[in-house]
Amino acid sequence: MRVALLSDIHGNRVALNAVLADIASQGGVDAYWILGDLVALGPEPVRTLQILSALPNARFIRGNTDRYVCNGDRHSPSIEEAKSNSHLLEALVEIANTFAWTQGMITAGGWLRWLGELPLEMRVTLPDGTRFLGVHASPGQDDGPGIGPNREDCGSCRDIAGLSSRPVVRWSHASPMAKQNSRCAFRQFGRGESVAERRQSSELSAPDRAS
């Protein structure tokens, strides 16, 4: 089973089409798993959703910016932070305007409810019995620092994932990272990786299931 993992598309139709063309040039995939941040802050949120929703065997979860678009939550700086530091006011206004525009486009296109109903996590049992947990930032959260290389979560991944033994956990957000032990394998597709780098690094195998 070949699966394409995509995330942080941010309404960038041009980049999305380039990635999809690369996937096609590699022989295609059986399914697409889309791990959040679909529309904001790019120039073509509606067209991006139209392309994504037309992909065969596509599954979706939300990212933090998808939530911001739908319910009005915002990333820092907050109004309170801008009141205490006037230098943040310009950033606050820019963020508010950008998300308001994206929300308007999504609403006019009829996608707001669909986007707002996306789940927080993706849980899949692969044909070989491997348990997959896909999240945008970390289990149970669509924002925050994620799981960094200095944390010891891999040793307790069964508790984090809420799955049976030996899950494979992959997520997107922050910096690229991979680590693995006898219980599980973590793979983080971070910002700044090219398509080729992601394809090469995706060779991380599931843990040995014999023990």
Q: Which helix (H) or strand (E) holds 132?
A: strand 131-135
**Residue found by looking up tokens 């979860």 in the block:** 61
Lowest mean pLDDT among 18-27, 96-105, 137-146: 137-146
Name the one residue in this structure whose structure tokens are 């609403």. Answer: 107
Average pLDDT over residues 174-203: 53
Amino acid 9: pLDDT: 94
Query: Between the ranges 3-12, 88-97, 108-117, 181-190, where is the mean pLDDT highest?
Result: 108-117
Is it the case that residue 158 has pLDDT exceeding 80?
no
pLDDT tens figures, 44-55: 999 999 999 999
> What is the separation of C-alpha 65 from the centre of its chain, rounded to a whole number of angstroms?
10
Report the range of poorest mean pLDDT among 62-66, 95-99, 161-165, 173-177.
Answer: 161-165
Angle between helices 45-53 and 89-108 (to 10 degrees): 50
Q: Does residue 19 have a pLDDT over 70?
A: yes
User: 131 pairs with which residues across the strands?
Assistant: 125, 167
Crossing angle for the helix pair 89-108 and 64-71, to the nearest 10 degrees: 80
Stretch 21-33: mean pLDDT: 95
Higher-confidence residue: 20 or 209?
20
CATH number given to 1-119: 3.60.21.10
Yes or no: say if 9 and 53 are a contact pair by the CB < 8 Å rule: no
Phi and psi at 11, nearest 5°, equal 65, 20
- 148 to 169, 180, 184: CA distances (angstroms): 14, 13, 16
* Cα–Cα distance, 187 to 172 (Å, whole number): 8
pLDDT of residue 191: 52
Contact between 8 and 2 (Cβ < 8 Å): no
Question: Residue 132: pLDDT above 70?
Answer: yes
Ranges of each domain in the chain: 1-119, 120-211
How confident is residue 129, by pLDDT bands cut at 50, 70 and 90? confident
One-letter amino acid at 64 equals: N
Rg (CA), the chain: 18
Contact call for residues 28 and 2 (beta carbons, < 8 A): yes
Q: What confidence tens digit (pLDDT) does each residue in 62-81 have?
A: 999 999 999 988 777 878 88
The CB density around residue 186, as the number of other CB atoms within 10 Å, is: 23
Q: Distance between alpha carbon 45 and the CA centroid of its chain, in Å?
A: 16
Task: Kindly state the average pLDDT of the residues 15-31.
Answer: 95
Mean pLDDT of the chain: 78
Indicate the pTM of the whole model: 0.77
